[in-house]
Structure 1
């Protein structure tokens, strides 16, 4: 993704206005766009607030529900699995029928899942609740990035993505502090239930705003769009099959063999169907775009490493290092604040350096994790506390700069009529990576199958794994791009042979 020309793969680079002529906002739409963005930020904050607090529930939840290590791994990882399942149909349906209904419906599913988890009588019901929450969050998230893609262009889009990143970072501050406060005052047997309910008021408020602010439809198509339901179903099955063995590595060899056979069969069926489908789910323009595929690889490895690192550091500080929840929240809050600052700086940094910004940020984050791994083995007490605080500041600031630029660099390859699908696949790869990485790091860091405890040795091993993942993301980000790719892509678009039928109809109607 590294290139001397930051706009080398930008399909709108030849437009002197810096926007796509068929999607340029009409006069008077700025206020509507701001309200829509506010709903998107609210949804991002509400759903990510839940993720920011779930690690704080592990010690008391595992004790009160008598949950073994494998069940706790499912509790932590299943959210990302079902998030990925909800993304693809959510994105495609949002492109076809408009985003408001799916936006509000996804928030409703998220709230129902939260209530199930809060009231769970056993670990099984808690896992079910997290599953429903994840699916609802996936549907919502597809609409969030779809709205941003629909209504903003170029620098304004980077700014909107930066605001979305800042909302996520704000949830990483508010969530731990709120969770720590609840754990400090609520009875130990029920405190984890109150922590899991923290996001519900925000979900309700965002739903009310979304009913007014999120557009029902960006444009009307002349014919009924093709949804590729077989492709959606096969993709959902693929997501489940590829993640189950990683979430629960203790399953028997017979189950593993069945999963492998099912995985091979599903992949073959999906490839066969997509090559013959009318309006395929895997839009040819995206599949053929090296920039989009590379961007997904960079995003997946980075996101998986970040989610896994955050989870293991939180549990280690709570148990392995023996800090109270309030102290843990105070330790992690400056890093989240630094991420907010980095998000707001991302717009200007991306305008100056383009895609060359990405490998620099990844190198900084990887170096921070290596330094922390060394410190866990060599330091303790106040020195280790200070090191964790410093590394979190550095990693937070560089992550804040990285994420909006990465999303824009990847999603600029999406074509009109397919914004939701492109955003969904970007998040799908990220969530699959998060599922893999959280399960992998949990297995590496937990001391044994009989307890859910992160030892210093387990912490070091987990941080090394995360650093290796970031190294892979760095390698993908510096793969050279073809200098003529943009021109070839534009010629193909003009020929009309890479757009799905629904997108071509939209183009004709607008013209």
Structure 2
């Protein structure tokens, strides 16, 4: 009876974590369809609209690793709750913004709050669940991430349509306020208390935090501001940022106290290869929605709601397959990720074929089944890969390790959107359909690199498994199902 009660508590805590992950993930993509209304309502410039999107991504990426480390060292529950408070307040400020300066500043703070929240979610899952249960919990998290990102345009389009072009964009932000107000007391009640967290009173490595922050910002800014900063000088930030990150690695190796990032994690193949897969997959994954929304709305005159509905098959496929992936990852390991990546590539190639066969207004319906297949593949990639990547990470360092993993995802997203978007716009002279297919080629290439990494890891794992007494990472040894 006591065990059942403990499981119920963990299940409720997982539910709270998933709602927070959905809320922060939704704001990555929900704003896209509201940009025309924001332009009209606040007389926004192109620079202002770009920072409305990119400011969130920038501060989100900057806070992931330091916040994950702070949660590991002090209290994940406390960081989680402060993140909810900050996200709720900043969402309200976005919704009631009276000019673009207020909106941009509020979006920057909202991104910081998302960066505080997300590593705590992964760290809490690491802390509360083990073995097969952990795989299922990460399956639920993967479904949440996939659905929130893919469903953003649909939810945003629905809100703009329901509340009208004048106030609809405000509700894209204000919808977070009641969610946050409900989430806060629930988090106080069900998340593990601070004394249950592995608390360590070590240095927070301020030099490491500064070097990592400058390096990540230097990598992100040229891609985020690719259209606003004219000329090629902005790309000089990339080698400069890489040099700073090289200094960060050197500092972490020499730092006598506990460093910000445990670099020994990258000696574990499961973590190193999983991080590489996440980087390249997210550089393709997020680019799909960016160019598809542009293609439908600008190329075929779709409304925000119609464009959102056309992307829904991907979200449905991702949600359904992610839960299945959570159940199967303990038995199939990296093989499941390779299957998922192959399905994504097949679905995107079929999507390209559908746009050639049905190039007109019916393209949204023609791409439904291919996008469903790609979405199902995505569901078998995100959550199983995260479960395998973190499988050898000690629970005490789960937040920091998850922060590094998610920072790679944010970097991949920024680079992928820039690459797919630049290719898309560069091919517009040949027509919208051709431009969309060219953008999809970039997405497919990125996902293919992730597949090569997964196959390499799979081959290495099979060689390891032939050695007596060894089990590949992410695959449970033979035995009864430990699930409840």
Shared fold, TM over 0.5: yes
1:313 aligns with 2:305: no
Give the whole-Å Cα distance in 2 for the aligned partners of 1:381 and 1:78. 35
Q: CA offset at residue 200 of structure 1?
A: 2.2
Partner of 1:198: 175
Question: Contact conserved, 2:151 with 2:315, CA < 8 A, in 1?
Answer: no
Deviation of 1:252 after TM superposition, in Å, equals 5.3
**Aligned counterpart, 2:482:** none
**Alpha-carbon distance in structure 1 between the residues aligned to 2:380 and 2:232:** 45
| Residue number among 225, 231, 253 corresponding to 1:275 in the alignment | 253
For residues 438-477 of structure 1, the aligned pairs below 5 Å read 438-446=417-425, 455-477=432-454
Tell me the TM-score normalized by structure 2.
0.86
Q: In the alignment, is the contact (CA less than 8 A) between 2:48 and 2:100 conserved in 1? A: yes
CA–CA separation in structure 2 for the residues paired with 1:208 and 1:174: 26
Output the CA distance in 2 between the equivalents of 1:28 and 1:191.
43
Q: Paired residues, what number?
A: 462
Give, in angstroms, the shift of residue 429 of structure 1: 0.4
Whether contact under 8 Å (1:441, 1:465) holds in the other structure is yes
Distance 2:150 2:251 in 1: 45
* TM-score, with length taken from structure 1: 0.82
Whole-angstrom CA distance in 2 between matches of 1:103 and 1:364 = 35
Distance across 2 between alignment mates of 1:358 and 1:34: 25
Write the mapping of 1:172-183 to structure 2, written as runs, cut at 5 A: 175-183=152-160
> In structure 1, how many angstroms separate the alpha carbons of the residues matched to 2:357 and 2:47?
30
Alignment of structure 1 residues 22-421 onto 2, 5 Å: 29-171=6-148, 175-217=152-194, 219=196, 224-250=201-227, 251=229, 256=234, 259-260=237-238, 262-277=240-255, 278-381=257-360, 383-421=362-400
Bigger RCO (CA 8 Å, 6+ sep): 1
Distance 1:252 1:314 in 2: 25
Structure 1 pair 473–257 and aligned structure 2 pair: CA distance change class (3 A): closer
- Preserved contact between residue 112 and residue 132 of structure 1 (Cα < 8 Å): no
Q: 1:267-312 deviations in whole A, cap 9, x for unaligned? A: 3431332122111122133132232111101011112211111222
Instruction: Say if 1:485 and 1:133 are closer, same or farther in 2 by CA, change over 3 A.
Output: farther
Contact map agreement 2:208 2:259 (CA 8 A) in 1: yes
Q: Write 1 or 2 for the structure with the bigger share of helix.
A: 2
Task: Choose 412-421 or 47-56, whichever is displaced more.
Answer: 47-56
Aligned-partner Cα distance in 1 for 2:350–2:4: 51
Q: 1-side partners of 2:168 and 2:312: how far apart?
A: 21
Write out per-residue CA displacement over residues 108-159 of structure 1, whole angstroms, 9 at most, x where no aligned residue. 2222332333233444443332222111111100000000011111210111
Q: Bigger CA drift: 389-398 or 89-98?
A: 389-398
**Higher deviation after alignment, 137-146 or 397-406:** 397-406
Q: Is the 8 A contact 1:368 1:395 kept in 2?
A: yes
